[in-house]
Amino acid sequence: MTNRKMFFTMLWGAVFRRRSRAMMAVIASLVGAATLFCLASVCVAVPQQMNEEMRAYGANLIVTPASATGKSQGIDTATVRNVTALIGAGHSVKSAAYRYESVRINSAPYTIAGVDVKAVRALNRHWNVTGDWPGSGNVMVGRDVADALGVKVGSRVTIGYRAADASASASSSASAKSDSDESTETAESSAQGTQSTQTTQGEQTTQATENGRVSSDIMDNNGTEFRIAGIVDTGGNEDSIIYATTADVSKLAGHERAADVVEYSVNAMGDELNAIVNRINKNTNTAVKAQTVTKITSSDTRIIAMLQTLFWIVSLVVLVLTLVGVGTTISSIVSQRRNEIGLRKALGADSRAIGVEFYVESGIYGLIGGLLGTAIGYVLARVLCATVFGRAIGFDWLLGAGSLLLSVAIAVIASIPPVRRATRIDPAIVLREE
């Protein structure tokens, strides 16, 4: 019988003659592999899944005009298309444009936003709307506006546009979208620049009074009558804004103008989202400034960081327990085979050959446990993601291969101390049964 055949014969006998001990080692590796693979799969899938879920809570990136000229003219359609193409390269993206104007209701100043209803509705699925969204001749008011005016769904209000008020609009509306100091400052300055141009246009059309759109009297309550179709309640600055269709706002103001702010919901986060912002800001052809919505992006980052920290803590505990479990089992096997090891050394077997046999045996335990544990871990991860996110995850083959290799490596490493003790056994003492 050749040495190789003898090696595998002894290895086969060592594994299957001591099935109870072998089963304990396999179970220790199985539990470790299942737990680690499940946690790793969830940690890989959760950021993407959570990012998609968070996109239902509004924009994570806003774009405003970068120059004074751009601020007065707004962001035209061609620029919006170019920016959207830059953002959408390799990412799914939703966008909505907002045009802000200052108006008066019962002589009190308010901000009205002209929007594409379909785009805004798709971007802000978390908005709690009582009634309907804006339509032709119908507006949607924020909860704070409704409470201040004492109106409800179905009520009618007269909204007047005054060019003299134009310099005060949009800043509060823009800040509602950014929730960050830098974003708010940029959005406000953009809105103020825009309104300066509107003031100039208003000076040229001061006498225009059709539908009460322009008035120089602060107490003038003339304007266009709108029906309140719905009331939006978000708990944020959106509650202080009036929403109307872009066409109605243009008709009310007496002129068309591009958007003041464009919001984007991008399927990206962290460094990836910052890279998109830097790419837009470095592109001089777009003439816009991009910035992240700090409130949204910081929430994403904080939650993911907490999950990753938890993953590493649990993984470390599992690794230690697996090492202890496998190491204890191998120590028990070595103790049982003490006489056999002594006899083999007395017959001329060297320590290296004995050590290799035990390492291979441990590796087999780790491989079997890793295969079973990876399969069980995948099932657990799939059930967990389906339960929490309502979505299934695919099997990550690279992660699976890593799980197998790690299981084998842990089993071999755990066997080092007992194997080293086995190779130091004195055959003379063993044969004398001391």
pLDDT of 57 higher than 60: yes
How far CA 427 is from CA of 194, 204, 336, 367, in Å, comes to 93, 109, 15, 32
The pLDDT of residue 166: 57
- Model confidence at 430, pLDDT cuts 50, 70, 90, reads low
- Model confidence at 178, pLDDT cuts 50, 70, 90, reads very low
The pLDDT of residue 168: 46
The pLDDT of residue 10: 61
Highest mean pLDDT among 17-31, 168-182, 194-208, 234-248: 234-248
The pLDDT of residue 355: 81
The pLDDT of residue 321: 84
Q: Of the given ranges (100-109, 256-265, 348-357, 368-377), which has the lowest mean pLDDT?
A: 348-357
User: Which residue would you say has higher pLDDT here, 248 or 186?
Assistant: 248
- Model confidence at 164, pLDDT cuts 50, 70, 90, reads low
What's the per-residue H, E or C state across the chain?
Answer: CCHHHHHHHHHHHHHHHCHHHHHHHHHHHHHHHHHHHHHHHHHHHHHHHHHHHHHHHCCCEEEEECCHHHHHHCECHHHHHHHHHHHCCCCCEEEEEEEEEEEEECCEEEEEEEECHHHHHHHCCCCEEEECCCECCEEEEEHHHHHHHCCCCCCEEEEEECHHHHHHCCHHHHHHHHCCHHHHHHHHHHHHHHHHHHHHHHHHCCCCCHHHCCCCCCCCCCCEEEEEEEEEECCCHHHHEEEEEHHHHHHHHCCCCCECEEEEEECCCHHHHHHHHHHHHHCCCCCEEEEECHHHHHHHHHHHHHHHHHHHHHHHHHHHHHHHHHHHHHHHHHHHCHHHHHHHHHCCCCHHHHHHHHHHHHHHHHHHHHHHHHHHHHHHHHHHHHHHHCCCCCCCHHHHHHHHHHHHHHHHHHCHHHHHHHHCCCHHHHHCCC
The pLDDT of residue 4: 64
pTM of the predicted structure, to 2 decimals: 0.61
pLDDT of 153 higher than 70: yes
- Model confidence at 299, pLDDT cuts 50, 70, 90, reads low
Q: Of the given ranges (26-30, 212-216, 239-243, 349-353), which has the lowest mean pLDDT?
A: 212-216
User: Which residue would you say has higher pLDDT here, 14 or 425?
Assistant: 425
